[in-house]
Structures are given as structure tokens and as C-alpha cells.
Amino acid sequence: MKSFDVPQQFRSSFISAIKNKRKQADKLKKDFTPTTLELGDLSISLARHFGFCYGVENAIEIAFKAVGENPNKRIYLLSEMIHNPGVNADLIQAGVEFIMDTKGKQLIPWDQIHADDIVIIPAFGTTVEIEQLLKEKGIEPTRYETTCPFVEKVWNRAEKIGLEGYTIVVHGKPQHEETRATFSHSKEHAPTLVINDMNEAITLAAYIKEEIDSATFYEQFKGQYNTTFDPKRDLKRIGVVNQTTMLASDTQAIAEYLKQVMKAHYQLDDQSIANHFADTRDTLCYATNDNQSAVQAMLETKADAAIIIGGYNSSNTSHLVELCETKIPTYYIKDELCLLDNFEIEHFNFHTKELLHGTLAPTAKKILISAGASCPDAVVERVIERLCQLHQEKQSWEALKSNWI
């Protein structure tokens, strides 16, 4: 796999050594068991896969390249490069400004953006409408485009089945940048609808089966369909694609459920189901799958608590938390500064969007750790080091690092 030129402040020689050793011993990535780090009385189980993925490293490389190549120009990002506060703060410090926030709210008016400015497309991609707007301003959107190749894969798959006459059902968070981009690209080729979860899939099924008057569809799915969508016409042939950072198991469950609805409603067998339901399993992101599988394997290790590290608006990180919190006390933190003195901990409840203050019990000496795909390895190392400080295991930490590096 290609290696990227990512600034050193995001790297960790310690974490890299662990990842490289695991990769050499398991090149086919079949072993998802965690790496155990013994630090005196403290034991940490580190997930097999975590941290920067291909798409994130590609985006960071391009963004800092744009800064380096254009010292006398104004440089903008459409929105956050990735959902990690540290990475975005470093870009701001380098002089990059954000045109919009993560929800699409305008921070810098379009009339202040000119042809000689540099505009970077974030890893989530952007909409067809914004691409066209940039072109009209004389800005080539592909010059510094960092759209993740796996997001583009979803767009390509949606285009293919759309041209084959299927309506596109996007499993994603309607306000997420990636889902907004996927929706925009998909509706260029086919009727498109976004559903957030299985509950909305069940509601959609009622329209497929014509159990609900189609007139109520527009209110129930307000803001989640293209303007010409007609549920009577457009729900006869469908295919499911996803926001790449959703829970893979949720997307698979929704796709299978809607497939079975189609089979029952149209009285189809396995050979004829393709007339009404497109097979789109190949749109799931490999990094999302690997990180989620690694967390599920990590949860088989007996432990006192789990710590998941990442930006609080990171979709893929929140799903790692979701996997953990059903089985073990779980703390969602953005960095080592959340681990306060006296074992106090500041952590995030992604369900309520609240910052909470609690206590990580000193007796919690067996801890599981993973991180989202936009979390730098350097942050993971600093979290481990901070846990060692709290448990007064500085010597164990230094010895462990020297053994790995």
C-alpha cells in the first residue's frame, strides 16, 4: 500500500513499531486479537486496527502539500479536513481557513472566494453543486481534492446501479458531509433517498408494500430525498449504498431487510430478486470494517474499562464506542488532556452530545484502547503514557517503549 508524507507531529514511532510487527506476522489481516501491553500493574489491550486510514493519510498529505506549494495565496478548506480537532487545529495554524462548518453552515461568504484562491476538497468529498460553483469562480476543484477513494467507490457504484434503473437508498446520517456529498452525486443519475437507521428502513418498507399513503412520505423523509422523488414510482427497484463510516453490520442488516421485503412483496426467488434489488455489498469501507472487527475481537478480552479516542463529531469513532458500551464501561475522549488528575476523566456522550465528568477508578487496571480512523497515532501514544503516569508506572512505560522502538 502507498505510503504518505504525513507531518511528524501525527506520527508515533512506538505505535508504528506495534503496527508494523502485527502486519509482518499477519499480512492477510486474519488475526484481530489485540496487542497486550504489560505496564507493571497496568495492562492495556490495544486494538489490532485503529487510527489513520488510507483516505485520511491521503487527505492530510494533499492538504499540507497545498499549504507548502502556495505560500502567498489564501488557502481554504470547504469544511473540516477530517473529524479530528488536533489535525484541523494544525491546518488552521498553517493558515488554512474553513469556508463552512461540518453541518454546512457558511463561515466565509462565497463572494469572498476568488479565482486565485486555493480551495481544498475534504476527505468526505463535496456536492456536485459546490463543484460547479467553484468552477464558475475559476477554481479547479480537483487540483487539491482529497476525497477518499472509498467514498468515490460508493459514488461510482451508485451511478452504475442508478443507470441500470434502480433507486439509490443511502444508509447514512443525513447531515454528515459525506452523506450530503453522496446524495448529491447519486441524484445526478437516479432517484435517491437517505435513511438513517433500521427504524427508517422499516418505515420505508411500509411504502414499498403500499401499506401507507404515499402522501405522508414527503413529511416523514423531509430533506432526505431528491426533489422529483415519487414513492409510488421509485420504490419498485432499489439498491442500498452507505456512508462509509457507518456500522457495517447495520448497513448489512438494513440491506438484507429491504431485500427480504422486496422478495416477499413481489414474490421473488433468489434468481429473480435482482429485478427489484441490486447487490451493493462492495460499498463497505475496508478500514471501517477492520476497525470495527478489531474492536469486537478486543471486547473478548476481560477488562475493567474501554477508552476510545477520536474527534467528538467523528462518525466512525462513535460507532466504535457504540460497540464497546454495550459490554463494558466505555469512555470516549479526544486526547490525553481528558485524563485529569486523581483519575478524573472528561468524556463525551455521543448520544446526548454532552461532555461528562467522571472517574476512571484506580482499580481499573485492565483497559481496552482503540481510536477512530482520523485519530493520529501520536495521540494514542500520549493517552497510554498518561495512563501510566496516573498509575505511577513511568519506569514500566519507559521500559516498554525501549523494547518496541
Q: DSSP string covering 212-257, please?
A: S-GGGHHHHTTTSB-TT--HHHHTSSEEEEE-TTS-HHHHHHHHHH
Q: 176: helix, coil or strand?
A: coil
312/321 Cα distance (integer angstroms): 11
342 DSSP 8-state letter:
G
Task: Enter the DSSP assignment of 197.
Answer: S
Please name which of 35, 101, 115 lies closest in space to residue 73, comparing C-alpha atoms: 115
Catalytic residue among 178, 200, 322, 336: 178
Do 17 and 405 form a contact (C-beta atoms < 8 A)? Answer: yes
The C-alpha atoms of residue 129 and residue 132 are separated, in whole angstroms, by 5
Residue with cell 449504498: 241
Task: List strands edge to edge, sheet with 305-309.
Answer: 35-39, 42-46, 366-371, 305-309, 330-333
Segment 265-269 long-range contacts (CB within 8 Å, at least 24 positions apart): 265/208, 265/209
DSSP category for residue 3: -
- Is the CB of residue 119 less than 8 Å from the CB of residue 113? yes
Catalytic status, residue 140:
no
Alpha-helical regions (H) of 26-148: 54-69, 85-93, 128-136
* 392 contact partners, CB below 8 Å, separation of at least 6: none
User: Measured between alpha carbons, how far is 42 from 261 in angstroms, rounded to an integer?
Assistant: 50
For residue 241, give the nearest of 148, 316, 167, 175 by alpha carbon: 167
Residues labelled as active-site residues: 178
